[in-house]
Structure 1
């Protein structure tokens, strides 16, 4: 029989092994994440846009692959359920030393949480076992010089940018760098530089941000009393040279560029916390979890979100309640009015008009997660065993959830535990937005943008399926965003057909109609309900209701010639430089 001392020593040795396995797994994940992110530069300079999208998808899978490998190695060492709770508490305590000596502390914490969560099927979410709260206070700035180029302003604006852009990795690939700098500085002088303030320095993030067929430099102009953010957007011309395409110099445009409806940037950097700290200076209204998502650390973004969420619960006292709008046939949706997200639970049973299964719904949400969302499809975070304080959930909401999603919730005296849910940015449902006291101009704008939204989603190779306007939201920037994914499919999976002409009202019943058949002429009957809205949509986007438009788009997608969806308006572009 072993003595307590020998048993303790054995536990410490085993805990040390587990710590090393977790650390090595994280290092392999982060290394692969960086390798894929680094590849974006060469892919961009070769004009390999589809490969950039494939790299983005591959990077999303790396985390799960390494997590599965670590969990498998741990099972080789022990059976987690046979260890005492104290064993896992001590494992976490010993891991503090690993974190203190690591340059990606916050990411490693999240990876550790993922490992323990997977071992216990996310049933042990508490700060004794997990890093629900951060292990230490992050104070970005010590490694700032590693990620930021700083040029003090002691010469002309043109000379300053010439020095800054020499550091960018495009080298001789610039088409006409001196001309681009002249255009850039002229635009900056007219739009961003306050003539009454003295510029003290200009800062640009060293990492280049890649997405699809464009690359971005993020920076700010610092004066004596404030700062002005800017984003320089570059593209490749037909000859394979880099040219300046646009300058974004207002926070709204930059915020949309980093929005929750866009795919993640490919950006390589050893100090993501410093990058996020700089981005937060540029976009102070963005939360840290949103910025971590935007640069490809979506798993840590979940940790950062949860920390922000529990902090908000401590500072608020309102009740969770059913979200406004028409109740969905697939999802039960609720929110906390003082917080800017909605919570979506898959219902136990779907409406009669829905033929999808629970697993198909999950597959659709996973598809959108890894797809190019082109600024028109909301990102989601998927959680298992999500805990809500019981006293903050209204009786009306609890009754509703027990009625439609009882299989996904468990009620205890102090908590409501949801076995599976999605969290998504809250928007105003389009049907409710149209009920406001809007001017004709405002109605035209949002209906026109609805049509643009549908077109841009389709150009990204996604057919939205259920296009009822209640399935679209309006963001705080006034953009129409799609958020209901249970009927999405890839464009090649659909057969767009002309609506047969017949005087027989029952002719459709006698036709052979496959599940993949789509009749665009019928769209006008269900996208927007009221006739004035229908007329506006048909006026702005008549081609949406024509079979030929959809068939031609399918052919363009097949040939890799889909229309480009830029994340900024034409007003931001340098028209004279567009190839």
Structure 2
């Protein structure tokens, strides 16, 4: 990761070998083919929404995630066939990188194309030899703002003739192929909401307003989202309109979201990726940052389904943060996990998770199983209740940034995952995840009102994940976190499974006093048996939290509640999940 000059700027195209050029062309062709297929899967979202084909929505989500790896593997095979040279010789890749940088100079998605090149290289070299000589640790050039002017990704509407006129024009331009449930009602509600929002902002006149609407609708799960911004002078107001299908032939606006926090929740790291037609994704990301300036670029690339490039952007962001900071990585606060060792940098709101070499009893899972659980999360509807993760191989850190306590801990619990030199620590495999306040730590300092709210959130998280066919398994409070928005999110995945795989049972009554006094179950327990009555044990030592939980969610102790969820899932029911508060939804009449 040294700051060497970019070879593309110092080497003539004439000096590149034929093999290097062929490798570069093969990879770029592979990227273009991947991006075309990615877009084609995405473009089907409109029809899936309009026909209420929710099962196809889930299938498309999985297919699009798996597409990237499949295309990279295809290109790796092709690369080996386009040259008679040793494809693992580093000198040929130094030239291939130069040739590729020249090829993508005018490519409108050069940054994502470079990530694809990186993926091919890393696959062939088993994530070793990571250096800017051979792949794009840094982008080959800065963003081309001229290209942004030449391709407008949004439509602008002036409110000079009134908001009702503007909203009607927007609805005309972004009309669905099925009728509105009640268009006049929805227009009226949106106008009222925008006027109230502008009144709260120093009574700004709406006739001076301009509304910029992104050219493509965002689709996810059972919702469609129009994403825009209202501009009045120097003030920018997010405008997000979630549409729902009543499944009886009508579309309706379910809400209008007009603040940064609500927009951030819609694009949260706890939700599935959007399906949105983005011919130039970097331009969409730039627009989204104008309404959510606190969002990192990597999160927004993840949100629109380009999670591999989001991973690249995150890695670059870590490198930049390390240059700007001097604090040390430390063991993450909270109770240590039995499967994962977790550390963090106090100045950076991310945790790094390493699978231990050996698991503390009573854990019986294996490392392979844990990796499969994390893979399941990436392909599931996270329902706004599970944190997104990124998986890295051979992640490089500077040794002097690790606290002695942390390094001792990692050498003790995961020595096989470490390569340690005088200057570097290379972790062979890790996951990154947004840092949150562990629920058990949050409760220790919470007021009574906060306990009431957060335990309601805890119960909602369990129920919403269950409706998405995810059973959290280990529901200990330490395995849930609290976000800056006060939402409770699950983040420990080694015990998760599908709800439909579980067997929910009532504990049989004891037959005699000997059974009651026994420290072992007097009944048979199968591998997949779950006894919801035992969930009370997760509150041991915190009776206040338990009482707040039981006030609203005591039904989770009843095995019949879980069996009802199973019946719905097996019948093909896909539940609604809303990335905004209930009180923000328009009333249905």
Instruction: Give the TM-score category using the shorter length.
Output: over 0.9
Cα distance in 2 between the residues matched to 1:143 and 1:9: 31
Structure 2 length-normalised TM: 0.93
- Could you say which residue in structure 2 is the equivalent of 1:95? 100
How do residues 94-493 of structure 1 correspond to structure 2 at under 5 angstroms? Answer: 94-140=99-145, 142-143=147-148, 145-171=151-177, 173-192=179-198, 194=201, 195-197=203-205, 199-436=208-445, 438-493=446-501
CA contact (8 A) 1:463 1:491 kept: yes
Aligned to 1:18: 23
Structure 1 residue matching 2:385: 3-state secondary structure: coil
User: Is 2:33 the partner of 1:28?
Assistant: yes
Contact 2:88–2:125 (Cα < 8 Å) also in 1: no
Q: Could you list the per-position Cα deviations for residues 421-466 of structure 1 after superposition, in whole angstroms to 9, with x for gaps in the alignment? A: 0000000111111111x22111111111111111111111011001
**TM-score (norm. length: structure 1):** 0.95
Offset at residue 528 of structure 1 (A):
5.5
Asked if 2 retains the 8 angstrom alpha-carbon contact of 1:233 and 1:245, the reply is yes
1:153 is displaced (CA, Å) by 2.8
1-side partners of 2:481 and 2:535: how far apart?
A: 18
Kindly indicate whether the alpha-carbon contact (under 8 Å) linking 1:141 and 1:274 is maintained by their aligned counterparts in 2.
no
Change in CA separation of 1:172 and 1:496 when aligned onto 2, cut-off 3 Å? closer
Alignment deviations for residues 127-149 of structure 1 (CA, whole Å, 9 cap, x no partner): 11111111111144733653201
Kindly provide the CA deviation profile for residues 97-156 of structure 1, in whole angstroms up to 9, marking residues without a partner as x: 111121111110100111111111111111111111111111447336532011123211
Matches within 5 A, 1:26-105: 26-78=31-83, 84-105=89-110
Distance across 1 between alignment mates of 2:343 and 2:322: 15
Structure 1 position 553 matched with structure 2 position 565? yes
Kept in 2: contact 1:11–1:87 (CA 8 A): no
Cα distance in structure 2, aligned partners of 1:42 and 1:77:
40
Find the residue that maps to 1:248 and give its secondary structure: coil
Aligned in 2, Cα 1:80/1:50: closer, same or farther, shift over 3 Å?
A: farther
The 1-side partners of 2:362 and 2:493 are apart by 15
> Shift of the alpha carbon at 1:181?
1.3
Determine the structure 1 residue equivalent to 2:545: 533
TM-superposed deviation, 1:87 = 2.1
Taking a change above 3 Å as real, the CA distance of residues 65 and 308 of structure 1, as seen in their structure-2 partners, is same
Structure 1's 530 and 164: CA in aligned 2 closer, same or farther, altered over 3 A?
A: same
- Looking at structure 2, the residues matched to 427 and 266 of structure 1 have their Cα atoms a distance apart, in angstroms, of 27
Are 1:573 and 2:579 counterparts? no
Contact kept, 8 Å, 1:143 with 1:271, in 2: the verdict is no
CA RMSD of aligned residues (A): 1.8
* Contact 2:50–2:178 (CA under 8 A) maintained in structure 1: no
Offset, 1:419: 0.5
Q: Tell me whether 527-536 or 492-501 shows the greater mean CA deviation.
A: 527-536
Partners of 1:404 and 1:172 lie apart in 2 by 57
CA contact (8 A) 1:468 1:528 kept: no
User: 2: distance between equivalents of 1:459 and 1:238?
Assistant: 19
**Corresponding residue number in structure 2 for 1:3:** none
Report if the CA contact (8 A) 1:345-1:405 is conserved: yes
Which is worse superposed, 533-542 or 368-377? Answer: 533-542
- 3-state SS of paired residue (1:333): strand
CA displacement at 1:476 relative to structure 2: 0.8
1:335 is paired with a residue whose SS is strand
- Report the alpha carbon displacement of residue 10 of structure 1 after superposing the two structures with TM: 11
SS of structure 1 residue aligned to 2:210: strand
Give per-residue Cα distances to partners, 1:377-420, cap 9 Å, x unaligned: 00000000000011111111111000000010110111100000
Structure 1 residue 211 displacement after superposition? 0.7
Shift of 1:191: 2.5
Q: CA deviation at 1:563?
A: 3.9
- Aligned CA distance change for structure 1 residues 329 and 237 (closer, same or farther; 3 Å): same
Provide the C-alpha distance between the structure 2 equivalents of 1:546 and 1:471, rounded to a whole number of angstroms.
22
CA contact (8 A) 1:247 1:572 kept: yes
Preserved contact between residue 240 and residue 263 of structure 2 (Cα < 8 Å): yes
Distance between the aligned counterparts of 1:353 and 1:244, measured in 2? 49
After alignment, is 408-417 or 521-530 more displaced?
521-530
**1:9: Cα distance to partner?**
8.8
**Do 1:149 and 1:164's aligned partners in 2 also have CA atoms closer than 8 Å?**
no
Cα distance in 1 for partners of 2:490, 2:540 equals 14
